[in-house]
């Protein structure tokens, strides 16, 4: 009988289910959007039950359409939007508050109050103090429901990131676990000892009994008995870490960049964590058997979103893909630089307060130059993150592996290669997050023998090689830096 790994990717905007075969092909997929709720400015929430229902729906959809059954499923691999926080009742399994989505800023005041602990938090967790991470979100929910703290202390309430929540529900409340990658995004997890950190629990006054057991990423978590009694869950990882694995970044120094709404750059830094003092965060890439791999990560807030902005606000293009045609109609940007700091700047600057800017306009500036400069800004912001990675790891990045919606823009990818002076590899299958989850599951279940076998099924579709001369690269980089500096001054 044909067997597949069922990969579930629970993302912020949608949930996807895919069937992955032994050759690493996605043979079928189903997708459903998930609603985000915006109760107040800066607050982003989701209905946790709707999230779980969407997982069931995409699995059903996939099986019905392909005419496969659970017998065709070797095991489940799960990847998920990270940091999103759910608190639920242990007995009933019902959420006690909406899920607080990673982007949500409602717990910012809790983080502001502990800013003096920045170095301590970075040292233990690898993270900067920010409401993105789960800790302050847990505190917020406990403070905003009736007897929250008391019920948590009595062991009546449980905390989960999306992976924990899905596993709890899909196992009929039998699995209360998370994996190291998800745990490392809570700001409560010590990435050196791989344990919940008591000092941080104390800092946020969060009772330990509400936290799930932390397991490796490639691991038998238990059975999805809500679906079928012997359906095993064998792999779990946060989406960016899953993508890193799905991009075959299995060696120290391997880097991937995902070009979606924002841009997530992760580098595998091997078995020892490196703590960067300058805006990159350190996180766990995965744990397979007893081997841990670490990653450093930098995120750019506005990447593909700047192209949506060109489309929806500037009305310069009709579709994101059209940006490429316009960019190619001119030979350069005519000295125009766009810094799309619409919501501040992410790594390595972490400047929340600056806003976007445009430089170098002349009477000759045309829409084509403007569009080209906006695309360039995506690559230049990515370069800023990668340069910082090179600096802290003392490694030159030879190859950048790319994925995400905007990686299909070959003008952008060529410019990325030019400006980094590195090869840029686009994989055959852009669904690297689902692939990574599938690989982690398949390694544990025996679907694939070992990592080497997985490496062999990973296929590259297209390679870009640098073609700009050094002088030109240095000129563009220098001007870009000046543009960023000026943007940060204007507040």
Write out the residues near ligand ADP by the rule CB under 6 A: 13, 260-261, 304-305, 307-308, 320-321, 323-324, 404-406, 408-409
Provide, rounded to whole angstroms, the least separation between the CB of residue 292 and ligand ADP. 27
User: Which residue number, 9 or 384, has a Cβ lying nearer to ligand ADP?
Assistant: 9
User: Which residue number, 190 or 323, has a Cβ lying nearer to ligand ADP?
Assistant: 323
User: Which residue number, 182 or 376, has a Cβ lying nearer to ligand ADP?
Assistant: 376
Query: Smallest Cα–Cα separation from 484: which of 385, 365, 368?
Result: 385
Provide, rounded to whole angstroms, the least separation between the CB of residue 325 and ligand ADP. 10
Instruction: DSSP letter for 33, please.
Output: E
Provide, rounded to whole angstroms, the least separation between the CB of residue 392 and ligand ADP. 26
Pairing mode of beta strands 99-100, 45-46: antiparallel
As a whole number of angstroms, the distance between CA 419 and CA 396 comes to 13
User: Which residue number, 54 or 282, has a Cβ lying nearer to ligand ADP?
Assistant: 54
CB 34 within 8 A of CB 51: yes
Provide, rounded to whole angstroms, the least separation between the CB of residue 58 and ligand ADP. 16
Output the six-digit token pair for 261. 């709404």
Q: What angle do CA 150, 156, 157 make, to 5 degrees?
A: 85
User: Which residue number, 344 or 405, has a Cβ lying nearer to ligand ADP?
Assistant: 405
Provide, rounded to whole angstroms, the least separation between the CB of residue 14 and ligand ADP. 8
As a whole number of angstroms, the distance between CA 163 and CA 182 comes to 8
Provide, rounded to whole angstroms, the least separation between the CB of residue 236 and ligand ADP. 20
User: Which residue number, 260 or 279, has a Cβ lying nearer to ligand ADP?
Assistant: 260
Output the six-digit token pair for 168. 């709890």
Place of tokens 């099986």: 63
Output the six-digit token pair for 482. 């000046």
Provide, rounded to whole angstroms, the least separation between the CB of residue 164 and ligand ADP. 22
Q: Tell me if residue 121 falls in helix, strand or coil.
A: helix
Provide, rounded to whole angstroms, the least separation between the CB of residue 412 and ligand ADP. 6
- Backbone torsion region of residue 466, taken as left when φ is above 0, otherwise alpha when ψ lies between -120 and 50, otherwise beta: beta
SS3 content of the chain, % helix, strand, coil (to 5): 40, 25, 35
Provide, rounded to whole angstroms, the least separation between the CB of residue 261 and ligand ADP. 3
The neighbouring-strand residues paired with 48 are none
In the complex, residue closest to ligand ADP by CB:
405
Residue 411 — φ and ψ, nearest 5°? Answer: -60, -50
CB 268 within 8 A of CB 249: yes
User: Which residue number, 308 or 421, has a Cβ lying nearer to ligand ADP?
Assistant: 308
User: Which residue number, 321 or 460, has a Cβ lying nearer to ligand ADP?
Assistant: 321
CA distances from residue 236 to 198, 216, 227 in whole angstroms, order as listed = 24, 8, 18
Q: What angle do CA 64, 444, 163 make, to 5 degrees?
A: 60
User: Which residue number, 13 or 118, has a Cβ lying nearer to ligand ADP?
Assistant: 13
């Amino acid at each position: 009988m044909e067997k597949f790994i069922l990969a579930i990717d629970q993302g912020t905007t949608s949930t996807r289910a895919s069937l992955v075969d032994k050759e690493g092909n996605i043979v079928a997929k189903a997708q459903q959007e998930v609603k985000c709720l915006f109760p107040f400015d800066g607050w982003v929430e989701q209905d946790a039950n709707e999230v779980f229902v969407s997982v069931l729906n995409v699995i059903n959809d996939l099986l019905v359409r392909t005419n496969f059954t659970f017998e065709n499923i070797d095991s489940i691999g799960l990847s998920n939007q990270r940091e999103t926080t759910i608190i639920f009742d242990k007995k009933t399994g019902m959420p006690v508050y909406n899920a607080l989505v990673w982007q949500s800023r409602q717990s910012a005041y809790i983080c502001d109050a502990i800013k003096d602990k920045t170095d301590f938090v970075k040292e233990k967790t690898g993270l900067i103090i920010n409401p993105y991470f789960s800790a302050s979100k847990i505190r917020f929910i406990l403070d905003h429901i009736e007897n929250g703290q008391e019920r948590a202390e009595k062991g009546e309430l449980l905390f989960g990131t999306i992976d924990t929540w899905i596993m709890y529900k899909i196992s009929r409340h039998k699995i209360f676990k998370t994996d190291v990658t998800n745990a490392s995004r809570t700001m409560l997890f010590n990435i050196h000892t791989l344990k919940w950190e008591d000092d941080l629990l104390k800092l946020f006054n969060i009772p330990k009994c509400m936290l799930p057991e932390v397991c490796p990423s490639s691991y038998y978590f238990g059975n999805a008995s809500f679906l079928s009694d012997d359906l095993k869950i064998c792999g779990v990882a946060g989406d960016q870490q899953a993508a890193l694995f799905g991009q075959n970044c299995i060696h120290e120094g391997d880097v991937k960049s995902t070009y979606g709404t924002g841009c997530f750059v992760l580098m595998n830094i091997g078995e020892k964590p490196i703590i960067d003092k300058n805006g990159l965060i350190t996180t766990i890439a995965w744990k397979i058997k007893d081997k841990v791999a670490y990653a450093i990560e930098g995120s750019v807030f506005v990447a593909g979103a700047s192209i949506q902005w060109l489309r929806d606000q500037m009305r310069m293009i009709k579709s994101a893909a059209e940006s490429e045609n316009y960019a190619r109609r001119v030979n350069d940007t005519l000295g125009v630089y766009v810094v799309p700091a619409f919501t501040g700047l992410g790594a390595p600057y972490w400047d929340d307060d600056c806003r976007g800017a445009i430089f170098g306009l002349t009477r000759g500036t045309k829409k084509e130059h403007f569009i080209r400069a906006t695309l360039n800004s995506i690559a230049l912001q990515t370069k800023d993150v990668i340069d910082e990675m090179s600096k802290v790891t003392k490694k030159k990045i030879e190859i950048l592996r790319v994925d995400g919606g905007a990686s299909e823009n070959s003008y952008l990818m060529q410019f990325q290669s030019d400006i980094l002076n590195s090869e840029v590899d686009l994989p055959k299958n852009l669904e690297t997050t689902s692939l990574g989850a599938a690989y982690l599951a398949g390694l544990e279940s025996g679907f694939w023998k070992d990592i080497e076998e997985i490496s062999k099924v990973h296929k590259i579709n297209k390679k870009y090689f640098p073609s700009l001369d050094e002088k030109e690269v240095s000129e563009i980089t220098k001007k870009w830096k000046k543009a960023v500096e000026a943007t940060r001054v204007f507040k």
